[in-house]
Amino acid sequence: MQKLMSTEDAELMAKTYRFLSQRGVPVTVSEHGSQLELWLTVASYSAHAKALLQELKHHPELLDQAEPAHTPASASSHATPSLLKQLLQQSGWFTAGYALLVVLVFAGLQVDALQEPILYALLYNPDSFEQLPWAQPWRLLTPALLHFSAMHILFNVFWWWYLGGRFERYYGSKWLILTYVCVALVSNTAQFMVSGPYFGGLSGVVYGLFGLAVVVAWNRPRHPLFLPRGLIIFMLAWLLLGYTDLLWVNVANTAHTAGLVSGLVVGALIQWLSRFSTK
C-alpha cells in the first residue's frame, strides 16, 4: 500500500476519500494517533491518484462538488447494490475463492461415495500418526478445507469472510495468502503432533486472523480490522472453553492456540514493516 496523505481534519479526509473513490481509485483510511491517513490499496493506480490529488491542489472546490456518499432515499432501486455484490465488495478474490472451495469440499463430504477419497486426499497424513507429510507437502495446509458439521463450516466461513476479506482488501491478496500459508502450516502441524491426522477445519486460520487483527488494529477504531473489546473477550473465552468438557463438539484446541500465536507474530511483523516503510 502507498500513503497518499495524512491530516487531522476529518471533514477534509472524508471529502478527499469520496472524491478519489468516485473516480475509481481504490483507497482506504486508517488512524494513526491523532492523524487520519489515506492509503492507496492497489499500486497500479498510483499515477492516477497523484494526478487527481494534484488537481485538487489547484482546484480545491472540486471537493465540494463530489456527490454524497449515500444515495437519497428517493433514488431508484437499481442504484442499491445487491446483497451478493455487497458481500463481494467486502472480500478479495482469494477470500471468495477459498470460501467457495471450502463449501464445495463440505458438499462433497455429504456424498457417501466421495467421503473416503476426499478425506484421504486432504487429511494431514492418513497413513501415519507420527510422520510429517514431506512427500506430499499440500497436506500441511489441506486439513483447513475439511469441515464436519453445518455449524462448524458456518462459523469458520463467516469469520474467514469477515476477517480475511477485510484483511485482503486493506493489505492485499499476497499478504492474505502468505498469512494463510504460515498460520495453516503452524496450526495444522501442531494439531497433528498432539492428536494425529484425523482433524480438520479453518478455525486455526480464523484464530490466526483474529490474533493479527488484535495486533494491527488495537485502539484504532477506524482500522478495517478493528475488533471491539467484547468480541475479543468472546473469542478468547471460546478458545478457553474448548479446553473444558463443557462443549458438545470435539474442538481442535491445539490448532486454535497455535493459530492464534502465529497470527500474533504475523501481525507484529506487519506492524514492524509498516513502521519501517514510513520512516
Q: What is the pLDDT of residue 8?
A: 84
Q: What is the pLDDT of residue 37?
A: 83
Burial 218-234 (b: 16+ CB within 10 A, else e): eeeeebbbbbeeeeeee
Q: Which residue spans of the chain are classified as CATH 3.30.70?
A: 1-63
Q: What is the pLDDT of residue 12?
A: 84
Q: What is the pLDDT of residue 9?
A: 82
* DSSP result, 144-205: GG---SHHHHHHHHHHIIIIIHHHHHHH-HHHHHHHHHHHHHHHHHHHHHHH-S----SHHH
Is-catalytic flag, 152? no
Domain 82-273 has CATH 1.10.1040.10: no
pLDDT tens, position by position, 86-130? 666 677 899 999 999 999 999 999 999 999 999 999 999 999 999
Which CATH code for domain 1-63?
A: 3.30.70
Q: What is the pLDDT of residue 38?
A: 86
Question: What is the torsion angle, in degrees rounded to the nearest 10, for the CA atoms of residue 120, residue 123, residue 127 and residue 129?
Answer: -160
pLDDT tens, position by position, 28-58? 887 777 778 888 887 777 888 888 888 888 7
Catalytic residue among 256, 262, 274, 277: 256
Catalytic residue among 91, 203, 223, 262: 203
Q: What is the pLDDT of residue 31?
A: 77
Is-catalytic flag, 256? yes
Please tell me the total number of residues recorded for the chain in this structure: 279
- pTM of the predicted model, to two decimals? 0.70
Low-confidence ranges of the chain (pLDDT < 70): 65-89, 246-250, 277-279
Nearest-5° Cα angle at 274, 270 to 275: 120
Nearest-5° Cα angle at 31, 26 to 35: 110
Q: Which residue spans of the chain are classified as CATH 1.20.1540.10?
A: 82-273
pLDDT, the chain, mean: 85
What distance in Å separates the CA atoms of residue 197 and residue 130, rounded to the nearest whole number?
9
